[in-house]
Structure 1
């Protein structure tokens, strides 16, 4: 029996994820598949004291965050929790142990920054309360020095209401991953039936208060597929908008109404308190929780630079240029204002210093919204640049994007920055792009781009589809193909399927594999390899690739 095709959000107003409707696309059709029983550790939510599983995240070379949540019993307001970390799943080689307290003020969540660990080492961990043990988790520290490879999954947009997290389960089964990177929209703020109706939300209404956000995080952490992904791999995560409210910017959001939902600062404070309680991440700046940008050195191979693009510096999104016959926008007027920010001045400076100062082979930027141009009408910059689709992504902040390109190109005494790979979520579809300032100008001598060779590209971008959030009903690829003439830099477009990206990097190339699940309407164990693209060291442009081999003899998964 099929599911309803689409349930619109209750709130009115524009949503960037609806922009494909201008192409005449219909809603996503979801086909049901048989329910699969849960067995073994897949049923970890049945543990009465550890209903929300275990997780780890923000690994460094000598430490990692361990997380769990204790479900309170007997009316207690505080609880003592023991933890142990071992080098083997049987816990015969203990590396660290200790005792911590949690309480009602932090919603009984437990977060421990376990230090003095060895680099590039897989560890197993568990918690205990009153003699009851949690499920066993598995994590890994980062390497130092010479590092031959990095292998990680990249995900975004996990909407509980819109379907099942089958992609999380497939990622959990991959024993050779170093980490999972989540690029935002880990939760969604809407209530039941407002944006998906495959599964009911808790609470049933839109979340606004601290209690609401805590309850929604708790529901997501009870999902068995999410639990298994967290249990097997460390997570590096940033937020996008739905961790607070749709189309957020530093002083508000499309889906926030002060008259009925209180002040925006109060809502942000509630959302971020719950986020930091319930996610296995460090707080980069306790004095300013909205600053979430941070970086991770993966030996000499990769600097993973994670950006915050919603709450700390973003200027308000502009509406479309209603005078244009398409209803989209062009790069003039307020769109050309160089004072408008996406990252904010402080984070922008931080990013530029990170890029220029990096000695790693690859610079991977983990961020929320699409960096590549996305146009309905193409034109070179000398003719205005064309007509754009989505003012919430970097297209709506072109002067800010141009400043990034100036860093990549070098000049004014600065060397060019090569081997930059942008990793993006948000848009519920999969894309691979060469990154060039002027993709519709074929003249390389004037800063243009050669579609055939890729010359003129300064970096590359891989955009991952969603875990479960809806894309475009485009099984034939007709809508995707309609976008290609105006966007010669886009080498791969899949608007239809759900899944994840797998990144495999070594000293000579960085490969992105696109993997799809067959459905999110019900539990399923089916996944398919869709396509792969790579960027070779020093080329800054994409080429077709093939599926990469998994690592031999990875450490055992957590039992």
Structure 2
């Protein structure tokens, strides 16, 4: 989430990215680089980090990170800051070390690579030959200087028993401090962190949020700009710590490029005045793959980011790309950029895409072919219907808020439902849990194509029992990005009244989700920090829900216990 589409004409307008602020008010009124060698092509921008400390020796001011773990491999990342006065062409040799103990004495893998300005001095190692379900520690060195020690974990094979995952999204640096990242970093018993997008934001200083200033101060457009913004984020101590302690699987949403991105443009991009969209996407992608611990899905098409991870026989984690590869342009009906549309006209055009045909087919294959107990689908925008006025499908479905989420692409969403429901010789797919970010709020929803129709036999949904639900959706709130002002929960209650499939709604709090998974159930806990405008060590659990094996609907949950005796955090 972020600022509205018309930001070029007005400094602080209210629009679709703040739609829950306005909808809340309305409700209140109504209620009263993959591998190192693959990252290349500087194109003349050296991406120097202006905020990095200048030193006469090499340093690792951006920390270390790991990601995209497999059962036998994981991506290890760092960035070398060259000594002050070094030429931009100077290459740096970097050694890496992997061990099974935090003191780095029991080494199991070492190696040497080079980096230079063409990849912004970033280093990415696909460290393979590792054991499944094992915690490792790692670090880098260059010119006699050592990086911090990082901690990572490979994925299990076979019987995984129990898994614990943290889920995050939407970290607007301008809106405050990343306390949620620090609280996640402190949880030694996590198997993985899942980031659902808006890892960075593209705005300039003061455009959207004013707690912290951006580097560069302008809206980012060029390769140098995107590199500098990633570098600023990676210098944040709390973000560094979550990366240092846990492996991360990340997808992008829109702000890694520009607000309301689609394949041919974005709401926050003016073609011509801000260059070509294709060039901006290429710059953003190069910086993203350089600065994030992720593998490239398709070297021939860097816009693809969909990939999957097998966490033993317990979870298949399926991550979707929904922005720059195949998405059709959003349909906005008014100058305020969002809201109050019905499922009619162009909204019912089956040619309009979120994933595109290739990725839709890939998703169908992954869901139908999965033998894991749980199918977790990580994606960017809310899948469940979200209405201001309820209505059944036969009468147009009601009035919807946000054409940027799946509500704006109903035929595409129906095709995903067709896979989950089964038919035409294919069985139904059970135990699908969709994980979502973007909306700066917390939601838990049963998933039904016609949730306002109480007749289950005709394809409807019983809001009291959950009958008719095909799957569930869990929506993580933001790390810092603002939601609605709804301290008494009146707007949340009104949303639930119009949307009976919404079982939990919180529009205000910031934090993260914690998933505790075994063969019998998935428990989701929403954990909230007390503030984002200053650094704080306080957090509390706000709510918990549970999905039982085979139920495909939500029920009441309770806080889970931490895993006993987890491997030590990195020192």
* Structure 1 match to 2:45: none
* Structure 2 match to 1:61: 71
What TM-score, normalized to structure 2? 0.91
Matches within 5 A, 1:103-252: 103-252=116-265
Residue 456 of structure 2 corresponds to residue 444 of structure 1: yes
Structure-1 separation of matches of 2:300 and 2:507: 40
Contact 1:87 1:93 in 2 (8 A): yes
Residue 396 of structure 2 corresponds to residue 362 of structure 1: no
Structure 1: gaps (5+ residues): 1-5, 27-43
Structure-2 separation of matches of 1:476 and 1:348: 40
Contact 1:7 1:195 in 2 (8 A): no
Structure 2: gaps (5+ residues): 27-51
Structure-2 separation of matches of 1:170 and 1:206: 30
Structure-1 separation of matches of 2:421 and 2:99: 46
Structure-2 separation of matches of 1:348 and 1:10: 32
Contact 2:5 2:16 in 1 (8 A): no
Structure-2 separation of matches of 1:9 and 1:387: 23
Q: What SS class does the counterpart of residue 485 from structure 1 fall into?
A: helix
Contact 2:7 2:268 in 1 (8 A): no
Question: Aligned-pair distance for 1:24?
Answer: 5.5
Residue 23 of structure 2 corresponds to residue 11 of structure 1: no
Matches within 5 A, 1:415-494: 415-494=427-506
* Structure 1 match to 2:565: 553
Structure-2 separation of matches of 1:113 and 1:394: 35
Question: Aligned-pair distance for 1:150?
Answer: 1.3
Contact 1:152 1:180 in 2 (8 A): yes
Structure-2 separation of matches of 1:383 and 1:200: 48
Deviations 1:37-67 (A, max 9, x none): xxxxxxx999960000000000000000000
* Structure 1 match to 2:283: 270
Distance 1:491 1:24, change over 3 A: closer
Structure-1 separation of matches of 2:375 and 2:448: 17
Question: Aligned-pair distance for 1:208?
Answer: 0.1
Question: Aligned-pair distance for 1:458?
Answer: 0.2
Residue 356 of structure 2 corresponds to residue 344 of structure 1: yes
* Structure 1 match to 2:385: 373
Distance 1:446 1:321, change over 3 A: farther
Structure-2 separation of matches of 1:281 and 1:145: 24
Deviations 1:371-397 (A, max 9, x none): 000001111111111110000000000
What TM-score, normalized to structure 1? 0.93
Residue 308 of structure 2 corresponds to residue 295 of structure 1: yes
Distance 1:383 1:8, change over 3 A: closer
Q: What SS class does the counterpart of residue 498 from structure 2 fall into?
A: coil
Pick the aligned partner of 1:75 from 77, 80, 86. Answer: 86
Question: Aligned-pair distance for 1:516?
Answer: 0.2
Q: What SS class does the counterpart of residue 226 from structure 2 fall into?
A: helix
Structure-2 separation of matches of 1:318 and 1:78: 48
* Structure 1 match to 2:537: 525
Q: How many residues align?
A: 534
Structure-1 separation of matches of 2:479 and 2:500: 27
Structure-2 separation of matches of 1:513 and 1:212: 37
Question: Aligned-pair distance for 1:551?
Answer: 0.3
